[in-house]
Amino acid sequence: MVMSQECCITSHGCYIAAGVFEWIGTFLAAFVLCQQRQEIMRKSSIPTNYFKDYLTALCCYCCVLVQHERHVRSAAYQR
C-alpha cells in the first residue's frame, strides 16, 4: 500500500500544529500561575519579581502549586 504525498504532508502538519498548541498551553498555564503567585505574594507583603516568578512557574509548576498551597494554609497568609 502506497500513501500519497498529500497524506504525509497533512499528517506532518497536524503534528506541528499539535506541538505549537502544546507550547502555547504551557506558556498560558505559566502566565496564569504567575498571576496567582503575584496575588498571594502581594497579600502577604512579600516582594515580587514578575520575571523570576514567571520563569519559576514555567520551569517547575508543580513546585509552585505546592508552595501556593502551603503558604495559603499557613497562619502567615492574610486573607
Domain count, the chain: 1
Q: How many alpha carbons lie under 13 Å from residue 15 in its C-beta half-sphere?
A: 6
Q: What is the pLDDT of residue 32?
A: 93
**Is residue 5 pLDDT above 70, yes or no?**
no
Select the more confidently predicted residue: 12 or 33.
33
Predicted TM-score (pTM) of this structure: 0.69
Which residue from 72, 25, 56, 12 is spatially nearest to 48, judged by alpha carbons? 56
Per residue in 17-74, pLDDT (tens digit) is 778 888 888 899 999 999 999 998 898 888 989 999 899 888 988 899 998 899 888 8
Domain that holds residue 69: 5-73
CA distances from 11 to 16, 20, 21, 23, 29 (A): 9, 14, 15, 19, 27
Q: How many residues does the chain have?
A: 79
Residue 78 lies in a domain: no
